[in-house]
A and B are shown apart, each in its own frame.
Chain A
Amino acid sequence: MTRKLQSTINKISPVLAIAAILIIWESLSFTGIVPKYMLPSPLDVVSAFIKDFPLLMMHAQTTLTEAFLGMAAGTVLGFVIAVLMDRFHLFYKSVYPIIVLTQTVPTVAIAPLLVLWMGYGILPKITLIVIITFFPVTVSLLEGFRSADPDALNLLKAMGANGLQCFTHIKLPSALGQFFSGLKISVSYSVVGAVVSEWLGGFAGLGVYMTRVRKSYSFDKMFAVIFFISLISLILMLLVSYVRKAAMPWEKSEKGQN
Chain B
Amino acid sequence: MERLTANNITVSYKGRKVIDDISVELNKGEIVSILGVSGVGKTTLFNAIAGLIKTDDGTIMLDGSNITGTTGNVSYMLQKDLLLPYKTIIDNVSLPLVIRGEKKTRARDIVSGHFHEFGLDGTQDKYPNQLSGGMRQRAALLRTYLFSDKVALLDEPFSALDSITKSSMHQWYLRVMEQIKLSTFLITHDIDEAILLSDRIYIMAGTPGKITEEITIVNPEPRNEDFAVSERFMEYKKYILEKLKG
Contact = CB atoms under 8 A, between A and B. Distances in A.
B146 to A, nearest CB: 10
A112 interface: no
A243 to B, nearest CB: 15
Contact of B84 (A152, A254, A255): A152
Contact of B82 (A155, A157, A173, A248): A155
A157 B52 CA distance: 8
Nearest to A149: B82
Interface stretch (B8-16, B93-101, B116-124, B220-228): B93-101
* Chain B: interface size category: 20 to 34
Contacts of B76: 155, 158
B52 A154 contact: yes
Interface in B51-107: 51-52, 71-72, 74-76, 78, 80, 82, 84-87, 95-96, 98-100
Contacts of A151: 78, 80, 82
A170 interface: yes
B226 to A, nearest CB: 36
A97 interface: no
B50 interface: yes
Interface in A166-215: 169-170, 173-174, 176
A152 B98 CA distance: 15
Given A155-B82, A165-B99, A169-B95, A255 B71 contact: no
B31 to A, nearest CB: 20
Contacts, number: 59
Among A155, A165, A170, A255, the one with the most B-chain Cβ atoms within 10 Å of its Cβ is A155
A168 to B, nearest CB: 10
A35 to B, nearest CB: 58
Given A151-B78, A250-B127, A158 B72 contact: yes
B111 to A, nearest CB: 14
A58 interface: no
Interface in A215-258: 248-250, 253-255
Contact of B71 (A149, A158, A250): A158
Contact of A161 (B82, B84, B85, B99): B99
A156 interface: yes
A155 to B, nearest CB: 5
Nearest to A156: B99
Contacts of B130: 253
B167 interface: no
Nearest to A248: B86
Contacts of B98: 169
A15 to B, nearest CB: 34
B99 A152 contact: no
B129 interface: yes
A1 interface: no
Contact of B85 (A165, A169, A250, A255): A250
Nearest to B153: A158
25 contacts: A149-B82, A151-B78, A151-B80, A152-B82, A154-B52, A155-B76, A157-B52, A158-B52, A158-B72, A158-B75, A159-B71, A159-B95, A159-B96, A159-B100, A159-B147, A160-B72, A169-B84, A169-B95, A169-B98, A173-B84, A173-B86, A174-B86, A249-B127, A250-B87, A250-B129
